[in-house]
Amino acid sequence: IYLFATAPAIIGILRILPFFYLYLAELDLALVISSFVGLAALLVLWTLRLGQSVVVSYRGRITALFLTIAIALQLIYSMIEGSTIFGYFWGAILPSIVSFIAIIISVGLKPWKQPRVVLTVSGNPVKYFIPTVFILASHLLWYSVTKLNIQRFFADYDPSFVSLSQFLCIEDFELIIVCVGVLIAGLVADKRGRKTTFSFVLLLIGLLTIFGSAFYNAFFLDPSLTGLLVSLLISERFIEGFLLGICLLLIWPELGRARTKGLRLSLVWFFFLGYMTLFWALDLNANVFGIVFEIPVIIVAIGGQFAILSALIALYLIGHLPLIIGREIEVEKLDFGFDEKQVKSTVDAFVGTDDFDSIRSQIDIIDAESEISDSDMSEILGEEFRDMLPLRSVPGIGAAMEKKLIDAGYESAAQLAGETAQRLSQKIEGLSLVRAEKLLKDARSVVKTKIKKNNN
């Protein structure tokens, strides 16, 4: 991480030294390459490191804060570049100086000493990726239709028209609105879960595709209603920020195999890069190798309808999205809730100090990528668990619930404490996910109490 962060800063300083003026073109190329390569590598490495150090219920707000600071710095650097306060020299060297100061502060904090745990949720990330493709397609179609219609109107109304933000004089506030969307997305993702937040951004995109055209069509009928265009632009920037906050750094490294999260994240970002390249090429009417990217005229006629259709398809596909927060946090609580003394107490109280085979079996449970059968679980835990911690010792488990648990293969509170809420609610008929989480919390509390009592 430090290597990728330092390279652009060093090249930026070399560019302003008189000795390297003859190599300015080469240094500019190296600066561009190192900046983009470094940014991509930093994002991947930082996101993976975040997933190893921060529990899932706090990652959303941390990634949102990270993206907001990055956008704010970009805005500040753009303002410095366009101002006459610092001049060319300081405008060129200031980002490099800030980079070196930030790296020194980061090294002083020694982040590599923080504990790391590789955790992900078992599931298929493609279930999130496919709806994302339709969401982006809906956004691209809607944006293309909106841009062409607005350009056609202003061709007669105001020939000096450049962009909607320039016409409304809110160019300096667009990134602020994006940051607000990013922050709200991160907070909602932590509080309400990834699935709920993802579904909400789909709702926002659907509303934008349906009612967005109503805003600018009303303005076309009465140009004095500029407030409608302001509302339209603010809504678009907020939704784009919200989409950025939930889909860029979250979900993809949290769902799927832990060993492939880096590759998975890189492939998803490669797709996003392709989408943004197409988006900007169409927006700028770019000419690449003789191929002119421009929005087909037919899009004006059918693009809006297909944008709504794409949003509806995405809405249909989100019905079976896997949960993330409700599943991974259980593993994290078990992992971070027991210190070394508690682990030793567990071994002494339930396993026996010399029973290394049983210890290895429990390690196998942690490393297992698939669910363990009830027979294997019983063999690992041993029969003594049933007598020492009966199911009825857990608050909330009566005779009827005990019978259901025994029929499902659970024989002790210790065995129940090692279960996940998702799997428990699936095995016990009529048991909700919230109720399962409460039972597991009480079971783990009973196990901890028994450990402390035996230790004393």
pLDDT, tens only, 53-104: 887 788 889 999 999 998 888 888 777 766 666 555 565 677 788 888 888 8
Per-residue pLDDT averaged across 236-254, rounded?
88
- Quick one: 313 and 343 in the same domain? no
In a domain? residue 119: no
Residue 147 has pLDDT above 90, yes or no: no
Q: Which of 154, 248, 149, 164 is nearest to 198 (CA)?
A: 248
- For the chain, give the mean pLDDT: 78
User: How do beta strands 291-292 and 287-288 pair?
Assistant: antiparallel
The whole-number pLDDT of residue 454 equals 63
For residue 45 the two structure tokens come to 């490495």
pLDDT, residue 293, reads 79
Report CA 316 to chain centroid distance, whole Å: 22
pLDDT tens sequence across 166-178: 888 888 788 899 9
Last residue of a domain, one of 322, 354, 371: 322
Does residue 217 sit within a domain? yes
CA distance 284 to 276: 12
Question: Does position 351 have pLDDT exceeding 50, yes or no?
Answer: no
Residues 249 and 195 in one domain: yes
Is residue 343 domain-resident?
yes
pLDDT in tens, 303-345: 888 988 998 898 888 877 777 765 554 444 444 444 445 445 5
User: Which CATH number does the domain housing residue 291 bear?
Assistant: 1.20.1250
Residue 259 clears pLDDT 50, i.e. is over it: yes
Q: Are residues 271 and 150 in the same domain?
A: yes
Same domain, 277 and 153: yes
Q: Are the C-beta atoms of 213 and 304 separated by less than 8 Å? A: yes
311/355 same-domain check: no
Statement to judge: residues 421 and 378 lie in one domain: yes
CA 230 to chain centre: 29
Domain-located, residue 6: no
Which of 322, 348, 379 lies at the terminal end of a domain, its last residue? Answer: 322
Q: Where does a domain end: 263, 293, 322? A: 322
Q: What is the mean pLDDT of residues 200-228?
A: 86
Residue 278 and residue 346 share a domain: no
H-run or E-run covering 287: strand 287-288
Assigned domain for 105 exists: no
Asked whether residue 329 is domain-assigned, the answer is no
- Model pLDDT, residue 438: 85
Residue (of 313, 310, 304, 311) closest to 144 by Cα position: 304
Res. 361: pLDDT tops 60: no
Q: In the chain, what percentage of residues exceed pLDDT 90?
A: 7
pLDDT of 271 strictly over 60: yes
Confidence of residue 121 (pLDDT cuts 50, 70, 90): confident
Q: Which domain holds residue 440?
A: 338-455
pLDDT of residue 146: 87
The C-alpha atoms of residue 7 and residue 24 are separated, in whole angstroms, by 16
Angstrom distance (rounded) from CA 200 to CA 185 = 9
**Residue 89 covered by a domain:** no
- Do 310 and 394 reside in the same domain of the chain? no
Residue 69 located in a structural domain:
no
pLDDT band at 137 (very low <50, low <70, confident <90, very high): very high
Same domain for 258 and 365, yes or no, is no
Q: Tell whether 168 and 290 lie within a shared domain.
A: yes
What does 378-423 look like in DSSP terms, one character per residue? HHHH-THHHHHS-GGGSTT--HHHHHHHHHTT--SHHHHHTS-HHH
Same domain, 307 and 410: no
The arithmetic mean of pLDDT across residues 106-128, rounded, is 78
Which pLDDT band, with edges at 50, 70 and 90, does 180 fall under?
Answer: very high
Sorting pLDDT into bands at 50, 70 and 90, what band is 186? Answer: very high
Over residues 12-25, the pLDDT tens digits come to 888 878 888 788 88
Give yes or no for residue 188 having a pLDDT over 50: yes
Residues 351 and 288 in one domain: no
111, two tokens: 């982040």
Total number of domains constituting the chain: 2
